[in-house]
Amino acid sequence: MAEITVKAGQALERILTLELVRVTERAAVSSAGLRGRGDEKAADKAAVDAMRRELNRLPIAGRIVIGEGERDEAPMLFIGEEVGTGKGPAVDIAVDPLEGTTLCAKNMPGSIAVMAMAEGGTLLYAPDVYMEKIAVGPGYPKGTIDIDASPEENIHSLAKAKGVKPSEITALILDRPRHAGLIAAVRGTGAAVQLITDGDVAGVIHTTNPDETGVDIYIGTGGAPEGVLAAAALRCIGGEMYTRLILDTEEKRERAKKMGVADPKKIYTIYDMVRGDCLIAATGVTTGNLLKGVKYEKGVVKTHTVVMRSASGTVRWIEAEHRDLSKFHLG
């Protein structure tokens, strides 16, 4: 297969339009073949293998900064792994080859293949720990949300900024026992709660288009790697997000320190987590509010992808029909 060539200084622009999309498309199609089979690790491995194969074709000197979660003991694109041909610019890469492995395994809505790419040395090198998160989309005054404020205060502040009653606000929250108090507090304001079982990268992205998704705010704790991916999306589209690592053991604090986290109580903004020009692409695996899932037809595979760039604020929605199925290595 012919090698991709890119003019110096135009790597991110070129990858935005085509190559980044190809990476997430391949991962999504590979994992979609295992929808509803009940095997999370097999679906994840299929996505990882496809994503690694396509990343290694790109004209970049890439380094995985955010990789697969070690908690799952899943097949990983591991932190520190070098990808690409090595004949191009140095870039940081954050990946979640299959966000929502359970969703895919159960053929439930909302699983996606997602990755972000940024200038080298500009993505937060986040340890695989939990992270407090709160996020809203664009169009609100700075300071509308506050990670240290109560859920009630944040809901009332957002409702005021939006010019509506709290009862017209919907918060997206991961359905976890640890969030029982949070859920009760949000509902106590009269606001609605939309619960998700997995997929908090997509969950944060949902806040950027509440008219379409019905989601105004994301609140709760989830994985730190997913937080950086979500921040990359908001960096491209706009919005406000605050996060804080949960370093509740000495082992976690030491691990974070080795990864460059000097202040364990630091509150991170979008611009702390993604400091330079970045790109993010996500392809639907199963159909959700954000993206359509992979669709197999006779001789054709259909995919739905969103790709964004921070420098231009461009968001492209790409619906593709693939007829050369050999590129997916489906076997």
Q: Which residues are annotated as a binding site?
A: 44, 68, 96, 99-101, 130, 176-178, 198-200, 223, 226
Q: How far apart are CA 33 and CA 79, in angstroms?
A: 27
Q: How far apart are CA 217 and CA 138, in angstroms?
A: 11
Facing residues of 66 across strands?
94
Residues annotated as binding site for Mn(2+)? 44, 68, 96, 99, 226
- 26 membership: H or E segment, kind and range: helix 20-32
Residues annotated as binding site for substrate? 99-101, 130, 176-178, 198-200, 223
CB atoms within 10 A of CB 251: 10
Q: How far apart are CA 269 and CA 135, in angstroms?
A: 10
CB atoms within 10 A of CB 299: 9
Helix (H/G/I), strand (E/B), else coil: 64: strand
Structure tokens at 196: 């998700």
Pairing of strands 217-223, 170-174: parallel
- Nearest one of 291, 292, 308 to 116, comparing CA atoms: 308
Helix (H/G/I), strand (E/B), else coil: 1: coil
